[in-house]
Amino acid sequence: MGGKRILVIDDDRSLLRLVQIILGRRGNQVEVALSVQEAEGMLREQAPFNLIILDLMMPNENGFAFLHWQEEQPPPLRDIPVIMNTAKQLTPEEQQYLDRRCLKIIIKGINFTERLITEVESA
């Protein structure tokens, strides 16, 4: 079981709520942010998080922008592991960057929630 403090960043309200319920039921403390900007504020001001779940494609600042911002932050913020989830078909270059930068990449698909649970629990 979980017990992690997790920040989920996604511009889709219902998906955020779904992830919050599912991971919350497994004993995690789940906070949500609807934009990169909101997430940055929460990460700076709130108690430290153990894990970030990040959507790649968002209007305004996207997942890549968040990753670049995070790289420039002092530890421990810089070192919080990120699970990326995306509905986008990645180019080989993007794949390479994200493989290096993220704990795991989850493509939104049929077993999305199962995979998310598995990855969060093994993180």
Partner 1 sequence: MVDLHERSRILVVDDDPMNIYIVREVLGDGYEVQSASTGEQALALADEFGADLILLDVMMPDIDGYELCRRFRANPALAFTKVILVSAKSMLRDRLEGYRAGADDYIVKPFDPEELRAKVQVFLRLKSVEEVERVKDDIINVFSHETRTPLNTIIGFARLLDESSHLSGAEREAIQHIRDNGESLMELVDKTIFLASLRKGNCRLSLVSLRLDALLQAVFTKLAATIAEKRLTVQVVDPEQLTLVADETLLTTAVALVIENAIKFSPLGGTLVASGERHGRYLRLHIRDNGRGLPQSRLVALFNAFVVDDIAHHGQGHGLGLAIVKHVLRLHGGDISARNNPDACGCTFTLLLPDKVLPPA
Residues 6+ apart with CB under 8 A from 94: none
How far apart are the C-alpha atoms of 48 and 42, rounded to whole Å?
Answer: 9
Cross-strand bridge partners of residue 84: 54, 105
Cβ at position 76, least distance to partner 1 in Å: 31
Nearer to partner 1, 74 or 109 (CB): 109
Give the residue from 31, 36, 41 showing the smallest Cα distance to 66.
36
How far apart are the C-alpha atoms of 42 and 36, rounded to whole Å?
Answer: 10
Residues that bind partner 1 (CB under 8 A): 12, 14-15, 18, 21-22, 57, 87-89, 91-92, 108-110, 112-113
Cβ at position 104, least distance to partner 1 in Å: 16
Cβ at position 48, least distance to partner 1 in Å: 28
Residues 6+ apart with CB under 8 A from 41: none
Nearer to partner 1, 46 or 113 (CB): 113
Nearer to partner 1, 22 or 77 (CB): 22
Cβ at position 39, least distance to partner 1 in Å: 18
Tokens of 123: 């993180």
Nearer to partner 1, 75 or 109 (CB): 109
